[in-house]
């Protein structure tokens, strides 16, 4: 009996206070016991490259007396257990844009039309190419980078200032539509 008390005392000396979560908190869930969910057959991926936590998930019910928490895990299989011990959870801290201002591009939002549809603004046309009987134009969207450039048919950009500028500079299609 004395040995068990001594062992418990030694183990508890290295333990820190346990995090407590409330219903509605966002948390990350450890993937240590769910590695097979990330391994696809024949992928050859090493387990050390799997994510350590996934989520964020929302705490549905909290039982801090027993250190267990019930999570809302969407798209979980039917035999999935939604209750986890606190040692499997980690508080979710979203990236702050004030800490990393260069990570997110400032983007103009879409313009709402009178019929409720969204429309993005074309910054300029970069190039053109012939497709079948018509033309396609490489469009740069206002507030977006080169990774979001898109080829669009002429019918989609027919009455835009960007197309008028493109055709007015002497570039533009040879022979009309």
Here the CATH number for the domain that contains residue 38 is 2.30.30
Here the CATH number for the domain that contains residue 153 is 2.40.50.40
Domain boundary among 42, 74, 91: 91
Measured in degrees and rounded to the nearest 5, phi and psi for residue 165 equal -65, -40
pLDDT band at 177 (very low <50, low <70, confident <90, very high): very low
Q: For residue 74, give its domain range.
A: 19-91
pLDDT band at 57 (very low <50, low <70, confident <90, very high): very high
Contact 84, 66 (CB under 8 A): no
Q: Please check whether residue 113 lies inside any domain of the structure.
A: no
What mean pLDDT comes out for the span 10-18?
A: 84
What mean pLDDT comes out for the span 48-54?
A: 84
Domain identity same for 36 and 86: yes
Helix (H), strand (E) at residue 5: helix 2-13
Domain boundary among 74, 91, 108: 91
Q: Is the predicted pLDDT of residue 4 greater than 90, yes or no? A: yes
Q: Please check whether residue 146 lies inside any domain of the structure.
A: yes
Q: Is the predicted pLDDT of residue 6 greater than 60, yes or no? A: yes
Q: Please check whether residue 109 lies inside any domain of the structure.
A: no
Domain identity same for 87 and 123: no
Q: Please check whether residue 67 lies inside any domain of the structure.
A: yes
Q: Please check whether residue 98 lies inside any domain of the structure.
A: no
Q: Please check whether residue 54 lies inside any domain of the structure.
A: yes
- Reference 123, options 147, 97, 149, 100; nearest CA is 149
Q: Is the predicted pLDDT of residue 175 greater than 50, yes or no? A: no
Domains: count for the chain: 2
Between 1 and 148, name the one with better pLDDT: 1
pLDDT digits 0-9 by tens, 86-144: 989 999 988 777 777 766 656 566 666 677 776 678 888 888 898 888 898 998 887 77
Q: Please check whether residue 177 lies inside any domain of the structure.
A: no
């Amino acid at each position: 009996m004395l040995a068990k008390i001594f062992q418990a005392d030694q183990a508890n000396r290295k333990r820190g206070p346990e995090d407590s979560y409330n219903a509605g908190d966002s948390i990350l869930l450890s993937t240590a016991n769910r590695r097979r969910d990330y391994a696809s057959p024949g992928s050859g991926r090493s387990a050390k490259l799997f994510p350590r936590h996934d989520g964020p998930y929302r705490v549905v019910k909290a039982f801090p007396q027993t250190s267990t928490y019930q999570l809302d895990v969407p798209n979980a299989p039917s035999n999935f257990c939604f209750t986890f011990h606190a040692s499997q959870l980690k508080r979710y801290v979203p990236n702050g844009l004030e800490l990393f201002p260069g990570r997110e591009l400032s983007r103009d939002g879409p313009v709402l039309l009178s019929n409720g549809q969204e429309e993005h603004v074309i910054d300029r046309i970069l190039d053109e190419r012939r497709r079948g009987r018509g033309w396609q134009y490489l469009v740069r969207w206002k507030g977006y980078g080169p990774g979001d450039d898109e080829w669009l048919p002429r019918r989609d950009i027919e009455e835009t200032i960007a197309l008028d500028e493109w055709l007015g500079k002497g570039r533009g299609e040879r022979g009309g539509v």
